[in-house]
Structure 1
Amino acid sequence: MRNRSAYRYRVAQQRSASSFQEPLKGHPVKSEPTAEDLAQIDDEWPLIEAELDLLDVQLKMLDRTGPVDGLEVRRLRHARTAVIRETVALFVRRSSATRRAA
Protein backbone atom coordinates (compact mmCIF):
# COMPACT_ATOMS: atom_id res chain seq x y z
CA MET A 1 0.00 0.00 0.00
CA ARG A 2 2.84 2.33 0.84
CA ASN A 3 4.58 1.82 -2.53
CA ARG A 4 1.37 2.52 -4.39
CA SER A 5 0.93 5.94 -2.73
CA ALA A 6 4.57 6.84 -3.42
CA TYR A 7 4.07 5.89 -7.05
CA ARG A 8 0.92 8.04 -7.30
CA TYR A 9 2.81 10.95 -5.75
CA ARG A 10 5.65 10.67 -8.29
CA VAL A 11 3.20 10.41 -11.21
CA ALA A 12 1.33 13.47 -9.98
CA GLN A 13 4.59 15.41 -9.71
CA GLN A 14 5.63 14.43 -13.22
CA ARG A 15 2.25 15.40 -14.65
CA SER A 16 2.28 18.80 -13.00
CA ALA A 17 5.87 19.46 -14.09
CA SER A 18 5.15 18.47 -17.68
CA SER A 19 2.07 20.68 -17.81
CA PHE A 20 4.24 23.70 -17.13
CA GLN A 21 6.67 22.75 -19.88
CA GLU A 22 4.05 22.40 -22.60
CA PRO A 23 2.70 25.66 -24.04
CA LEU A 24 -1.03 26.22 -24.11
CA LYS A 25 -2.62 25.23 -27.38
CA GLY A 26 -3.54 28.22 -29.48
CA HIS A 27 -1.31 30.60 -27.53
CA PRO A 28 2.09 31.24 -29.09
CA VAL A 29 5.01 31.40 -26.70
CA LYS A 30 6.62 34.84 -26.81
CA SER A 31 10.13 34.99 -25.45
CA GLU A 32 10.63 38.74 -25.71
CA PRO A 33 8.36 41.80 -25.66
CA THR A 34 7.53 43.43 -28.95
CA ALA A 35 8.41 47.00 -29.82
CA GLU A 36 4.80 47.97 -29.13
CA ASP A 37 4.98 46.40 -25.65
CA LEU A 38 8.16 48.32 -24.89
CA ALA A 39 6.60 51.56 -26.11
CA GLN A 40 3.63 51.04 -23.79
CA ILE A 41 5.94 50.36 -20.86
CA ASP A 42 7.88 53.54 -21.63
CA ASP A 43 4.62 55.46 -21.79
CA GLU A 44 3.43 54.05 -18.44
CA TRP A 45 6.80 54.27 -16.68
CA PRO A 46 6.24 57.65 -14.93
CA LEU A 47 3.04 56.28 -13.39
CA ILE A 48 4.76 53.06 -12.36
CA GLU A 49 7.54 55.05 -10.74
CA ALA A 50 5.05 57.26 -8.87
CA GLU A 51 3.20 54.19 -7.62
CA LEU A 52 6.47 52.65 -6.43
CA ASP A 53 7.28 55.86 -4.55
CA LEU A 54 3.84 55.79 -2.91
CA LEU A 55 4.33 52.18 -1.93
CA ASP A 56 7.73 53.02 -0.45
CA VAL A 57 6.24 55.79 1.70
CA GLN A 58 3.41 53.54 2.85
CA LEU A 59 5.82 50.75 3.79
CA LYS A 60 8.01 53.17 5.73
CA MET A 61 4.95 54.38 7.62
CA LEU A 62 3.90 50.83 8.46
CA ASP A 63 7.43 49.98 9.61
CA ARG A 64 7.57 52.85 12.10
CA THR A 65 7.32 51.97 15.75
CA GLY A 66 6.30 55.40 16.98
CA PRO A 67 3.59 57.80 15.91
CA VAL A 68 3.59 59.22 12.40
CA ASP A 69 4.98 62.75 12.29
CA GLY A 70 4.09 65.65 10.02
CA LEU A 71 6.94 64.98 7.62
CA GLU A 72 5.69 61.46 6.91
CA VAL A 73 2.18 62.78 6.32
CA ARG A 74 3.58 65.34 3.86
CA ARG A 75 5.53 62.63 2.04
CA LEU A 76 2.41 60.48 1.79
CA ARG A 77 0.32 63.37 0.49
CA HIS A 78 3.02 64.26 -2.05
CA ALA A 79 3.26 60.64 -3.25
CA ARG A 80 -0.53 60.36 -3.62
CA THR A 81 -0.62 63.63 -5.55
CA ALA A 82 2.16 62.40 -7.84
CA VAL A 83 0.22 59.19 -8.61
CA ILE A 84 -2.91 61.21 -9.43
CA ARG A 85 -0.91 63.65 -11.58
CA GLU A 86 0.78 60.84 -13.54
CA THR A 87 -2.51 58.98 -13.98
CA VAL A 88 -4.14 62.07 -15.47
CA ALA A 89 -1.08 62.70 -17.67
CA LEU A 90 -1.19 59.12 -18.99
CA PHE A 91 -4.91 59.42 -19.69
CA VAL A 92 -4.37 62.69 -21.57
CA ARG A 93 -1.50 61.20 -23.61
CA ARG A 94 -3.54 58.16 -24.56
CA SER A 95 -6.71 60.11 -25.38
CA SER A 96 -4.81 62.59 -27.55
CA ALA A 97 -3.07 59.70 -29.34
CA THR A 98 -6.45 58.10 -29.97
CA ARG A 99 -7.85 61.34 -31.37
CA ARG A 100 -4.84 61.76 -33.65
CA ALA A 101 -5.18 58.20 -34.94
CA ALA A 102 -8.86 58.65 -35.76
Structure 2
Amino acid sequence: MPIRTLFVLLPLTMAAATPALAGDAQAGRQKALQCQTCHGMDGLAKIPAAPNLAGQPEDYLIKSLTDYKTGARKNEMMSVVAPGLSEIDIADLAAYFNSIEVEVKPRP
Protein backbone atom coordinates (compact mmCIF):
# COMPACT_ATOMS: atom_id res chain seq x y z
CA MET A 1 0.00 0.00 0.00
CA PRO A 2 1.50 3.36 -0.94
CA ILE A 3 2.46 5.63 1.96
CA ARG A 4 0.13 8.33 0.61
CA THR A 5 -2.84 5.98 1.02
CA LEU A 6 -1.84 5.29 4.63
CA PHE A 7 -1.91 9.00 5.44
CA VAL A 8 -5.46 9.18 4.10
CA LEU A 9 -6.75 5.99 5.73
CA LEU A 10 -5.08 6.28 9.15
CA PRO A 11 -7.13 9.28 10.40
CA LEU A 12 -10.34 7.65 9.18
CA THR A 13 -9.49 4.41 10.96
CA MET A 14 -8.61 6.21 14.18
CA ALA A 15 -11.84 8.23 14.11
CA ALA A 16 -13.90 5.07 13.73
CA ALA A 17 -12.05 3.46 16.65
CA THR A 18 -12.55 6.43 19.00
CA PRO A 19 -14.88 5.39 21.81
CA ALA A 20 -18.00 7.42 22.52
CA LEU A 21 -17.90 9.93 25.34
CA ALA A 22 -18.31 8.04 28.62
CA GLY A 23 -21.30 9.29 30.57
CA ASP A 24 -21.71 9.78 34.30
CA ALA A 25 -24.92 8.06 35.49
CA GLN A 26 -25.07 10.11 38.71
CA ALA A 27 -24.84 13.39 36.77
CA GLY A 28 -27.38 11.99 34.33
CA ARG A 29 -29.84 11.39 37.16
CA GLN A 30 -29.76 15.09 38.01
CA LYS A 31 -30.19 16.03 34.36
CA ALA A 32 -33.08 13.56 33.99
CA LEU A 33 -35.29 15.75 36.19
CA GLN A 34 -36.45 17.48 33.00
CA CYS A 35 -37.30 14.07 31.47
CA GLN A 36 -39.43 12.74 34.33
CA THR A 37 -42.79 14.15 33.18
CA CYS A 38 -42.80 11.91 30.10
CA HIS A 39 -40.22 9.19 30.80
CA GLY A 40 -40.29 9.06 34.62
CA MET A 41 -37.26 9.08 36.89
CA ASP A 42 -37.46 5.29 36.78
CA GLY A 43 -37.26 5.37 32.98
CA LEU A 44 -40.78 3.96 32.64
CA ALA A 45 -43.02 6.09 30.44
CA LYS A 46 -45.67 8.12 32.20
CA ILE A 47 -47.61 8.99 29.05
CA PRO A 48 -48.59 6.61 26.24
CA ALA A 49 -46.63 8.45 23.52
CA ALA A 50 -43.31 8.30 25.40
CA PRO A 51 -40.99 5.29 25.20
CA ASN A 52 -39.55 3.49 28.21
CA LEU A 53 -35.88 4.40 28.57
CA ALA A 54 -34.88 2.20 31.52
CA GLY A 55 -32.19 -0.29 30.61
CA GLN A 56 -31.88 0.85 26.99
CA PRO A 57 -28.37 0.53 25.50
CA GLU A 58 -26.26 3.67 25.88
CA ASP A 59 -25.31 3.73 22.20
CA TYR A 60 -28.98 3.66 21.21
CA LEU A 61 -29.87 6.48 23.61
CA ILE A 62 -26.90 8.60 22.48
CA LYS A 63 -27.84 8.12 18.82
CA SER A 64 -31.50 8.91 19.47
CA LEU A 65 -30.82 12.06 21.49
CA THR A 66 -28.21 13.23 18.99
CA ASP A 67 -30.66 12.68 16.14
CA TYR A 68 -33.33 14.70 17.98
CA LYS A 69 -30.75 17.43 18.63
CA THR A 70 -29.72 17.67 14.97
CA GLY A 71 -33.25 17.27 13.62
CA ALA A 72 -32.49 13.95 11.91
CA ARG A 73 -35.23 12.47 14.09
CA LYS A 74 -38.45 14.36 14.74
CA ASN A 75 -40.76 14.55 17.74
CA GLU A 76 -42.69 17.60 18.89
CA MET A 77 -41.48 17.52 22.50
CA MET A 78 -37.95 16.20 21.88
CA SER A 79 -37.41 18.84 19.17
CA VAL A 80 -37.82 21.44 21.92
CA VAL A 81 -35.75 19.68 24.60
CA ALA A 82 -32.85 18.06 22.71
CA PRO A 83 -31.27 21.09 20.98
CA GLY A 84 -30.22 22.46 24.38
CA LEU A 85 -28.34 19.29 25.33
CA SER A 86 -24.56 19.18 25.09
CA GLU A 87 -22.64 16.03 24.14
CA ILE A 88 -21.84 15.57 27.84
CA ASP A 89 -25.52 15.96 28.79
CA ILE A 90 -26.45 13.33 26.21
CA ALA A 91 -23.76 10.91 27.42
CA ASP A 92 -24.78 11.42 31.06
CA LEU A 93 -28.48 10.89 30.35
CA ALA A 94 -27.70 7.78 28.32
CA ALA A 95 -25.53 6.41 31.14
CA TYR A 96 -28.26 7.09 33.70
CA PHE A 97 -31.15 5.50 31.81
CA ASN A 98 -28.94 2.56 30.82
CA SER A 99 -28.02 2.00 34.48
CA ILE A 100 -31.64 1.45 35.54
CA GLU A 101 -32.18 -2.29 35.92
CA VAL A 102 -35.33 -3.75 34.48
CA GLU A 103 -36.91 -7.12 35.11
CA VAL A 104 -38.87 -8.84 32.40
CA LYS A 105 -41.47 -11.32 33.57
CA PRO A 106 -43.41 -13.72 31.37
CA ARG A 107 -47.15 -13.20 31.18
CA PRO A 108 -49.16 -15.68 33.23
* TM-score (norm: length of structure 1): 0.29
**Greater RCO (Cα-Cα under 8 Å, separation 6 or more):** 2
* TM-score (norm: length of structure 2): 0.28
